Structure 1
């Protein structure tokens, strides 16, 4: 109990609120050319040093650790960090971070990663903790905001990796021939052929409402339709629901056409896959596996009943996933390419042989990473309070690391405390 007693003493006897305020000011508002601003910054820096010095002197041998914790974490964050340190007995040695609605939020951060969050990430980087950004976005999008937010020196340090398009590729600058791994190239020709057919037809065959209201995201492999309206708006919701139904039907036709071509059944055989029924098969298949897809089909009167999916079609669809994100996106992805596969590849490139990662995310694709980490006893998971219900259920059943929307810094400060306190005897 000594560490808990010391932590109680730290937050009871010292002005940790003022300490954190000075630390935040010094970190986030560097001195400017203005003489007044420079003086203010220097005064805050001097007071910060004095407050940290008082704590160092009061805790011989561990004072620097406690001063760092108090300067970054609130009382609740520090005690949660200590609970995690006691439970797991090891520090977090990798960050696995989703971006949209996790690091940033359209509703609370104007879709920008907060300055505080970016600074905390640089502190973890400076402490030698690799960062894996794990997102459904394209590589070019991620490279742009990472370079702008973290700086080229951090991004190109060799300790930052990007798992993009939900696991179709991994980009880790500074690793020579391993810098870019195109994981979709490892898929067999069957799956790649169907995705090629989808990409060729997805916009040209689309009904007018979808063709005018959506665009094809610039993925290397996945087929993702995004709205030409503000994400989350009523118009975006309507067109993405239309796009979901359309993608299900188009996927059915592409799979049926492909199986006809590769199976080449004997003339007159009743085993031939019939393309006309393909949309009903895919609707039935995915509605049975995803309640959100089922709800959209029911609402639009597009649900199918008493449909028997042919064995060949069902076997193939087991390898393909249709993802629905309300008022945001409808997409087709390979089940063999997912975020856990991408994160595992990123760990391999980064040389993380014994990971204990913090996984931040809000969606079902992030849940797969969380579950994989949990099964391997290789980390902890956290989610924003507006995350998918299944994600929140998992997070609350493990360590209950739920943070306010747009405030990933809350859990990053908790893990900062964990990493400092775990080494205190």
Structure 2
């Protein structure tokens, strides 16, 4: 019987929704120190075991009668029955059939997870900015199945490491199969690998680029208007320059603060760049700031929209921009995250660079990743994986338009805000179905 027919039978003959409810309760709500709670947990656990046993029996006896007495066939089909029970307990009908479609398309399982955090695994709008327990539990299941986890984020290392240890446990984070690509690819931290555990990729950039980042970091607040100095702060990055609002992320107040900060950050970038080129270019810092604003407005519609709202788009023809200055701007990226951050990063170091370095440390020679993210920096990883035929991409429904366009044009793995678990369940089912194909 084909896999499609088996899945159809699984979801039509068994109450899989009730099974998933019981599995979620047992997984996420361990017995408490209460006789009543323990009794209820045990009742649900017993019901779960009974439901799973019915599926195992049904699919174990699915072998041809002429082979049913052979011990080797019995063992294989019983294992298959366990796989179908696992799939039904974790994935909905739609998720299981999506997994089967992916298996038919790519003919291989996911062997590494590459995951953004903010607005992907967790969401300020629907998960109180916490990674949901079901997501954390699914990640531990992938870990136990031997699938490495690469957290790929723009956040600082210490921040990411802290909440990962809190959510996943120190043992998993320090297992040697978990890597953190932080500050959008500037550094990689993979505990348990000796001298290779921490790689500071930004140290390999040339002196001019490093000096620009140091200059912007030192001047961005000292030269800022009082409102920006009081209302914003610098994220504690090792290299990137990230301005964050003191107001609640996503609020109107945060939006106004970050919009003003973005304009100021571009002006400071231009001025610092002009200082670095002083020996080659006699350029007024204010004019250099205008060239910076014109450059990044032309490159990014969101940035242009912010500058237009502040009447800060200069009347500059980029065709007349000083070549040395234009060349320098080509090496530096400015990212705008609405009501969240204005960030300076190096275009010579991106998330794909960090992920590639993480793969090297983890020993992943032939990756096929599930890449999950919401921003343009995540899009670079998705496109890199697609170009290398090394993964599939998924994004939340509120991701940036370019990300959604890429995801919908590939495998259409778009999930609701705060529901990253839905896509992880698809990947789980994909991997379990791949086990059956390998038998």
TM band (smaller chain): over 0.9
| Partner SS, residue 226 of structure 1 | strand
Q: Which residue of 2 aligns with 1:375?
A: 387
Shift of 1:423: 2.7
Shift of 1:53: 1.1
Number of equivalenced pairs: 417
Matched, 1:310 2:319: no
Matches for 1:5-404 after TM superposition, within 5 Å: 5-60=5-60, 61=77, 62-261=80-279, 263=280, 272-307=282-317, 308-404=320-416
Shift of 1:298: 1.2
Q: Kindly indicate whether the alpha-carbon contact (under 8 Å) linking 1:86 and 1:422 is maintained by their aligned counterparts in 2.
A: no
Shift of 1:331: 1.1
Q: Which residue of 2 aligns with 1:414?
A: 426
Shift of 1:198: 1.1
After superposition, give the CA deviation of every residue in 1:401-422 in whole Å (9 maximum; x if it has no partner). 0001001000000110000112
What CA distance in whole angstroms lies between the structure 1 residues aligned with 2:316 and 2:403?
31
What CA distance in whole angstroms lies between the structure 2 residues aligned with 1:86 and 1:411?
17
Q: Which residue of 1 aligns with 2:68?
A: none
Shift of 1:361: 0.4
| Partner SS, residue 80 of structure 1 | helix
After superposition, give the CA deviation of every residue in 1:22-81 in whole Å (9 maximum; x if it has no partner). 111111111122111111111211111111111111112121111110010000000001
Q: Which stretches of structure 1, 4 residues or longer, exceed 3 Å deviation after superposition?
A: none
Q: Which residue of 1 aligns with 2:2?
A: 2
Structure 1: where are the runs of 5+ without partners?
264-270
| Partner SS, residue 304 of structure 1 | coil
Structure 2: where are the runs of 5+ without partners?
61-76
What CA distance in whole angstroms lies between the structure 2 residues aligned with 1:74 and 1:358?
19
CA-based RMSD: 1.0
Q: Kindly indicate whether the alpha-carbon contact (under 8 Å) linking 1:240 and 1:329 is maintained by their aligned counterparts in 2.
A: yes
What CA distance in whole angstroms lies between the structure 1 residues aligned with 2:205 and 2:186?
10
Shift of 1:306: 3.4
After superposition, give the CA deviation of every residue in 1:290-342 in whole Å (9 maximum; x if it has no partner). 01111111111110123321000011111000111111100111101111111
TM-score, normalised with respect to structure 2: 0.93
What CA distance in whole angstroms lies between the structure 1 residues aligned with 2:207 and 2:231?
32
